Each structure stands twice: as C-alpha cells, then as structure tokens.
Amino acid sequence: DTGVSQDPRHKITKRGQNVTFRCDPISEHNRLYWYRQTLGQGPEFLTYFQNEAQLEKSRLLSDRFSAERPKGSFSTLEIQRTEQGDSAMYLCASSPSSLLAGKGAGELFFGEGSRLTVL
C-alpha cells in the first residue's frame, strides 16, 4: 500500500495525558499537512510542511500542540496535557510540491485519520 498511513487509528486517553500521532506520507510527496475534523464539520487546517520546514501554522494550534517532520519524511503531531475539547479525528495528507501554479495544486492525498477520544 503506497497511500498515506497514520498511526494509531484510535487513541483513548485521559485528560491531562500526552498523545502522539504519526503520519507516513506518500514517499515522493514533499508536502505534508495536518488537519483536525470534528463530527459534522469539515477538516480544519492545523499546519503544513514543505520537506522538513514547517511553513504555516493555524491559530488553532495552541502551544500544547507541536508537529515535526525531522527528515522530511514522516511527521508526528503531539498534543500535551490533552483536554476533552481535543477529541477529534486528526487527518494527515500529503501532496507533491506545487511550485508551478496549477500543477497538482491542492490535490491532497489523505490518510484514514487518527481518532482521539479524551475522557
């Protein structure tokens, strides 16, 4: 399977605990994105990487959230001191770099997501 893979698929944790999600993008894609989706809503942008550089972060990404992509391949999203409001599906997506306008721009390949439940 050469799609975007995310791990774990489900995570149940107690409030105050830290959690980490991992995303492995499609190998030739140098852009990687994290989104959050709650029930009945569309995905909300959190952050994106071009290779190992984190180029944009949403204001939704509080200081309890941190994302890394150390070697420009896989990425991790860590949530510290989880709160019940963090319960959501965390989606990872990847895409080729769209340096040329129109060439694959915005065509994101999504993983199946990591569902977080904070009790």
Partner 1 sequence: AQKVTQAQTEISVVEKEDVTLDCVYETRDTTYYLFWYKQPPSGELVFLIRRNSFDEQNEISGRYSWNFQKSTSSFNFTITASQVVDSAVYFCALSEYSSASKIIFGSGTRLSIRP
> Does 113 help bind partner 1 (rule: CB under 8 A)?
yes
Task: Quickly count: other Cβ atoms within 10 Å of residue 25's Cβ.
Answer: 26
Contacts of 42 (CB under 8 A, 6+ apart): none
Task: Measure the CA–CA gap between 36 and 46, rounded to whole angstroms.
Answer: 7
Task: Measure the CA–CA gap between 41 and 21, rounded to whole angstroms.
Answer: 21
Contact 6, 114 (CB under 8 A): yes
The DSSP secondary-structure symbol of 76 reads E
CB of 90 to partner 1, least distance (A): 12
CB of 41 to partner 1, least distance (A): 5
Q: Which residues from 7-66 bind partner 1, rule CB under 8 A?
A: 31, 33, 35, 40-45, 48, 50, 55-56, 58
User: Hey, what are 18's tokens?
Assistant: 């830290």
**Choice between 25 and 111, CB closer to partner 1:** 111
Total residues interacting with partner 1, rule: CB under 8 A: 29
Task: Measure the CA–CA gap between 21 and 35, rounded to whole angstroms.
Answer: 12
> Does 112 help bind partner 1 (rule: CB under 8 A)?
yes
Stretch that binds partner 1, among 20-28, 66-74, 79-87, 104-112 (CB under 8 A): 104-112
> Does 106 help bind partner 1 (rule: CB under 8 A)?
yes
Binding site for partner 1 (CB under 8 A): 31, 33, 35, 40-45, 48, 50, 55-56, 58, 89, 91, 93, 98, 101-102, 105-113
